[in-house]
Amino acid sequence: MKKAPVITKLSLGLLVAVGITACNQNKPATSTTPAAANTTTAAAHETVYVNSDSLLSKYNYVKDINKKMNDKGNAAKAEVQSRRDALQREVADYQKNANTMPADQRQATEQRLQREGQAEQAYEQNTSAELQDAQGKATAKLDDKVAEYVKQYAKDKGYKLVLTYSKNGSSVLYGDPSLDITADVVKGLNDAYTKDGGDK
């Protein structure tokens, strides 16, 4: 059974890249005097980015969910392997004794083993589907938590656009480090996660 990564960078990237719009839309107009230089600087800071690689590696919620999903996946894998081994032992026993069995007993045993093999395949498929479903729900919950937090964070800070950056896939080719709000976002998410009492 293949083990897929629990929380994908792509899903988080798509989530944050949607661009969280904040308030701050009713700013007073500025004159074209020397103060315009300050307006440009302020406007440049209305767009910031979050490094999704760092967020995924430092957000305690992600660590806890990954551990839970890995534990669940390992338990399911062990159960599947145990059932598979038991079936293989039954098949080996049958093959060892097949020549000494009457034809009707041999036929009944073969049919039973075939049914058990089909049941085993169905069990593996169902287990895999359940794990994928649990992963999907965990990812959706992560997306909701990050989106909700970043939306409020952007509103509080006056940011109009929050982009995401990832080493392996990004909508940002370059970002000045002064625009990187990752550490602040991770700290806020972790504080909120601890305040909520961890994963629920």
> What is the rounded distance in angstroms from the CA atom of residue 47 to the CA atom of residue 75?
44
The CA distance from 164 to 179, in Å, is: 11
Identify the pLDDT of residue 176: 64
Beta pairing class for 161-165 and 47-51: parallel
User: Using 50, 70 and 90 to split pLDDT, how confident is the model at 8?
Assistant: very low
- Phi/psi at 3 (nearest 5 deg)? -105, 115
φ/ψ bin of 187: left (φ > 0), alpha (ψ from -120 to 50), beta (otherwise):
alpha
Residue partners of 169: CB distance under 8 A and separation at least 6:
9, 10, 13
pLDDT in tens, 11-42: 444 344 333 333 333 343 333 333 333 334 44
pLDDT digits (tens, 9 = 90+) for 90-102: 999 999 998 999 9
How many secondary structure helices (H) and strands (E) does the chain include? Answer: 6, 2
User: Residue 18 and residue 138: Cα distance in Å, rounded?
Assistant: 20
- How far apart, in whole angstroms, are the C-alpha atoms of residue 200 and residue 197? 8
pLDDT band at 165 (very low <50, low <70, confident <90, very high): confident
